[in-house]
């Protein structure tokens, strides 16, 4: 009798586990195949790609709430859903007004799976880029990249800033006086004549003051052993320009080579770049575009206002001259991206061209700038560059006549493959 009771408990436990596994499986499929954010142009209909018995409810009371059953309307936006997989019909989402709403997806109309934000916008076209650009950034404060030993006047060694400053800190002021360059910092340290100085630092989200005592070195100068950087520069690819002069480039942020931290920008500039050599990529050895940047007024193209994980953003100086003879492309949002044939636009041999790629994998809900896995299949590009190389970051990705994103990274062990970012992520950072 007892064994029969234990057997029933065993079966019930396994039944519960099976049901949970069933629900989690569908939850996994939903998150893999449905974006957490769907972008629609006004009046557009989107068919949810769900091959399972799922129904959709509209949340109208609080668009931040999840899994609430609510009437078929939403804050600031009219969203319509047609049918459900539970009733054997496809689910179609339609945004009638510009705004934001939220739909809740339920398995069998009972089990809450996930909620999807719907953002309805006006139709948007962009001018595609593809040309190489020179980037110059001034850091917002003087970036500390590390500290080290110095040789003192008596021949001994010391590290005055050890344990006081961290790599990635930004120096904002010395003894209460604001500074913005390495030269100013060096001057203040030299004038200290060994007296303790107070450095005002920005450390992540906090502003702190620390004290450092400069020491006299064997060349007679006073130093703290702090290594700093106040600017950086490089070559990348322009992604797109909007009619109001805003631009986006790179598809990823510019990080410091020593600390690997995203550089905080005070101001920056965009220049024309001249490519004079292509180093072909090989397995385990990324290639690169080698070029020069003329930092003069005649090659100045625009102002850089932000450096984010999604790219570099700013405004073009003369947008009418830039977009001359260029044609716009409509934006293609992530839910319209498909595996298969697409193109990238980049500049090799002095000319901008379209090269065929294959989109191998799509990650709708990745939080990073690696939303697509792409493979270069164009023989001309493979023979010239080996695939994706440094400097091509930001190259526009086009599919079905729409601008869907940009190249961001190369796979080091296979330069024919790399990653791309969805265009809506760059548009959000461009605002």
d(CA 230, CA 346): 30
Q: Going by C-beta distance under 8 Å and a sequence separation of 6 or more, which residues neighbour residue 281?
A: 287, 385, 386, 387, 388, 389, 410, 415
What are the residue numbers of the active site? 252, 378, 393
- Where does 102-196 have alpha helices with state H? 182-192
Q: Do you know the residue count of the chain?
A: 431
Task: Give the bridge partners for 40, in sequence order.
Answer: 120
Pairing, β 111-121 against β 37-41: parallel
For residue 174, how many other CB atoms are within 10 A of its CB?
A: 21
For 374, phi and psi rounded to 5 degrees?
-120, 155
d(CA 153, CA 220): 7
d(CA 212, CA 194): 10
Rg for the chain, CA atoms, rounded: 27
d(CA 4, CA 10): 10
């Amino acid at each position: 009798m007892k064994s029969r009771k234990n057997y029933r408990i065993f079966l019930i436990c396994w039944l519960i586990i099976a049901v949970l596994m069933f629900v989690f499986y569908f939850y996994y499929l939903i998150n893999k195949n449905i974006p957490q954010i769907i972008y629609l142009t006004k009046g557009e209909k989107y068919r949810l790609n769900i091959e399972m018995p799922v129904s959709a409810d509209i949340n109208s009371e609080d668009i931040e709430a999840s899994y609430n059953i609510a009437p078929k309307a939403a804050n600031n936006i009219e969203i319509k859903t047609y049918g459900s997989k539970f009733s054997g019909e496809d689910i179609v989402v339609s945004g009638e007004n510009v705004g934001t709403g939220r739909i809740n997806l339920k398995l069998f109309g009972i089990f809450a799976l996930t909620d999807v934000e719907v953002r309805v916008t006006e139709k948007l076209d962009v001018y595609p880029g593809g040309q190489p650009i020179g980037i110059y950034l001034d850091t917002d404060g003087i970036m500390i990249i590390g500290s080290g030993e110095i040789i003192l006047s008596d021949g001994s060694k010391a590290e005055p800033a050890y344990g006081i400053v961290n790599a990635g800190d930004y120096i904002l002021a010395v003894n209460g006086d604001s500074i913005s360059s390495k030269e100013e910092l060096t001057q203040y340290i030299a004038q200290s004549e060994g007296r303790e100085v107070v450095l005002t630092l920005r450390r992540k989200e906090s502003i702190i003051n620390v004290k450092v005592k400069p020491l006299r070195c064997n060349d007679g100068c006073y130093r703290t052993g702090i290594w700093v950087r106040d600017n950086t520069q490089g070559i990348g690819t322009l992604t797109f320009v909007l009619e109001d002069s805003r631009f986006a480039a790179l598809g990823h942020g510019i990080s410091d080579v020593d600390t690997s931290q995203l550089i905080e920008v005070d101001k920056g500039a965009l220049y024309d770049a001249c490519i004079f050599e292509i180093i072909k990529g090989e397995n385990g050895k990324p290639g690169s575009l080698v070029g020069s940047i003329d930092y003069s007024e005649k090659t100045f193209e625009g102002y850089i206002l932000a450096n984010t994980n999604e790219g570099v953003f700013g405004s073009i100086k003369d947008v009418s001259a830039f977009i001359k003879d260029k044609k716009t492309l409509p934006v293609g949002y992530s839910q319209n991206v498909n595996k298969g044939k697409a193109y990238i636009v980049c500049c090799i041999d002095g000319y901008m061209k379209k090269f065929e790629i294959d989109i191998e994998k799509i990650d709708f809900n990745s939080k990073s700038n690696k939303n697509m896995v792409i493979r270069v299949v164009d023989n001309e590009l493979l023979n010239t560059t080996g695939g994706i190389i440094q400097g091509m970051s930001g190259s526009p990705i086009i599919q079905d006549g729409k601008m869907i994103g940009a190249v961001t990274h190369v796979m080091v062990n296979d330069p024919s493959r790399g990653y791309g970012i969805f265009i809506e992520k760059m548009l959000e950072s461009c605002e």
